[in-house]
Amino acid sequence: MSMIISAVLAVIVFLIVPALIGMLANVFRKKKHFSMALFLVSGYGVLFAFFELLVLPFIYLKLPFTLMVWIYSVPVGLLSLFSLYLHRRVLLEKLRGLPAALKGLPWCAWLAAVLILFQAGTAAVRMHVDDDDAFYVATATTTVTTDTIFQYDAYTGLPYEELPSRYVLSPFPVWNAMMGTLTGLHPAIVAHTVMPAFYIPLSYAALWLLASWLFEKSKRNAWLLLFFAAVIQMFSFYSIYTGGTFLLVRIWQGKSFLANVLIPAILYFCIRAMNQRHPARTDWLLLFAMMAASCMVSSMGIMLAPVALGVMGIVMYLRHRKLQILGYGAACCAVNLVCAAVYILIR
């Protein structure tokens, strides 16, 4: 029974809450467009950005983990309920239209869905042992057990003499700990079983955004792109360094989330924000959220995400010759710059 409750809670916190927050984040768009992939990806961006900004003071002030969970969860929960209330009609309408929408899907959509579900299911059911979890998962378990954040060495359990500079600015393991607390599951189960089930499809949601931009007028072609992408990821084990390998064997680690969800999402929101004559403010804000989220998931994200944004910014500047692109782009990197400065100070 408790496992069923945990499973329901996992669906709520991993799927429904991010989608509702994403809907809320896109509520000010003038051109309304219902895209669950957009809502999910932007929801995660906003949730991770908020988490980054909230947790860092908790770490430095050595405040309890459970207090952080409350302070984070209550406003997020209330905002989700508000979003549910705000979008109740459109959600009901979409739910009613779901069978018809599914019937209208092209063959390649079903093939893509089967492959993605197979990949998520395999990662969730089967076991892959990765030594990096000695830090990532053990940090989550230590956080829950000691009710502290980054005060005890995950490897040994002994108190830290100084904060682990490489990881402390990217508290993704604390997110894992919080998900464990909210679902009543052990952090090892959250990381190794629950996260792959949700995050592998999420990475395809991010790719779907790029696909639907590339094939704006043909959903069928966008689905075909997604199908080919799923095949490519599956056959990317020619080296252990590829994004596909990281996606399919260890998506619960922040660096893999960065490579497979946030980098494609950053490219997409760069294009949305920079490639329009009158870009929506929402797109710039979501790009800012994605950049902050990249700091939250991995110390690599602090550095790599601005590189991606910078290159895309230059490409777009050369196309549109608008200094605003570079200015706003730089502003979106604010959290990354602060984290980089702090990292240099504490390392």
Partner 1 sequence: MKETIELIFRWLKAYVGTGWHWLLFLAAAVLLFFLREASKKRQILAGYCIGILFLYFFPLTAWIIMKACIGTDTYWRMFWLLPVTPVIAYVLVLAVQRAEKRGRAEGIAAAAACVLLIAVTGSCVYGKGQFTTGNRFKLNGDMMAVCNFLEDYNTDEEIYASVPPEFVSYIRQYDANIKQPYGRYGPEDWQPDQQKIEEIYKENPVDFFGLTSVCKKLGINYIIYPHSEEAAAAFTQDGYALAGTVGKYGIFHNPAYGSEDDNGNQEEV
205-234: contacts with partner 1 (CB under 8 A): 207, 210-211, 213-215, 221, 224-226, 228-229, 231-234
- Window contacting partner 1 (CB under 8 A); options: 11-19, 97-105, 276-284, 309-317: 309-317
Among 20, 55, 258, 286, binds partner 1 (CB under 8 A): 258
Residue in the structure block whose two tokens are 């969800």? 261
3-state secondary structure of 106: coil
Residues 91-110 touching partner 1, rule: CB under 8 A, are 108
CB-based contacts of 211, cutoff 8 Å, min separation 6:
221, 222, 223, 225, 226, 229
Taking residues 137 to 156 in sequence order and writing x for each that binds partner 1 by CB under 8 A, - otherwise, the string is: xx--xx-xxx-----xxxxx
Q: How many other CB atoms are there within 10 angstroms of residue 164's CB atom?
A: 17
Among 159, 184, 281, 331, binds partner 1 (CB under 8 A): 159
Residues 261-280 touching partner 1, rule: CB under 8 A, are 263-264, 267, 271, 275
* C-beta of residue 295 within 8 angstroms of C-beta of residue 274: no
Q: Closest approach of Cβ 312 to partner 1, in Å?
A: 6
Q: Closest approach of Cβ 13 to partner 1, in Å?
A: 18
Residue 121 in the binding site for partner 1 (CB under 8 A): no
CB-based contacts of 40, cutoff 8 Å, min separation 6:
15, 18, 19, 22, 202, 205
Taking residues 180 to 209 in sequence order and writing x for each that binds partner 1 by CB under 8 A, - otherwise, the string is: ------xxxx--xx-------------x--
Helices 263-274, 195-214: inter-axial angle, 10-degree rounding: 30
Backbone torsions φ then ψ of 154, nearest 5 degrees: -65, -30
- Dihedral-angle region of residue 244 (phi above 0 means left; psi in -120 to 50 means alpha; beta otherwise): alpha
Among 1, 129, 323, 345, binds partner 1 (CB under 8 A): 129
